[in-house]
Amino acid sequence: MRDVSPVRACRASYARLSPVHAPCRYMRADYSIEVGSDTWRLCIAWASTMVIVYPVGIPALYLVLLWRSLPRINPRRLGDEVTTEHELARMRARDTSIRSIRFLFDAYRPGCWWFELSELFRRLLLTGLLLLFFEGGLLQILVGLLVATLFLLPLSYAVPYLHHVEQNLAAS
């Protein structure tokens, strides 16, 4: 049986081409897609769109969802009653109208409803930005450490978690 792998086919076609012609190239992620083909252009267009949509669109969606429900997520103190943040958190936990977005704020104090957005940006910076711009090497490690250290500041200042165990775990 003859081996017709894309790499061998590329080498074979390159051997038949004159030195003026460039060799055929394939995508690293899928060797069945030749660089420059219509499928490749579609993949590039889709990937370029998603590189913009995900880091901008998802945080924007989260912000809109949180902002629209802010009075129920961060209930104001009732009159002259002194209510603790744990009581306010129990009040919002009983509110069924915000059940579908509870994952965005449930672990945080009512006044720190925004903290999941901060966490999302931290994750995007540490996983996306570092891989796109600082691939491999010492600079990637240094920028990663700098980003992680900078995001410790709002964590330490705001103390966003309802429970001290979660706060200590996030800070460690």
The pLDDT confidence band at residue 7, using thresholds 50, 70 and 90, is very low
Which position has the token pair 């600082």? 134
Distances (CA, A) of 23 to 27, 32, 42, 129: 13, 15, 21, 31
Lowest pLDDT segment from 27-31, 35-39, 68-72, 138-142: 27-31
Average pLDDT over residues 8-17: 37
The pLDDT confidence band at residue 81, using thresholds 50, 70 and 90, is low
pLDDT in tens, 55-79: 899 999 999 999 999 988 988 765 5
**Which residues sit opposite 26 in a β-bridge?**
34
pTM over 0.85: no
What's phi and psi for 108, nearest 5 deg? -105, 155
pLDDT in tens, 135-144: 778 888 888 8
DSSP code of 129? Answer: I
Give residue 41's identity as a one-letter amino acid code: R
Q: For the purposes of burial, counting CB atoms within 10 Å of the CB of 133, is it exposed (0-12), middle (13-18) or buried (19 or more)?
A: exposed
Please give the structure tokens belonging to residue 108.
């945080």
pLDDT above 50 for 15: no
Please give the structure tokens belonging to residue 1.
């049986």
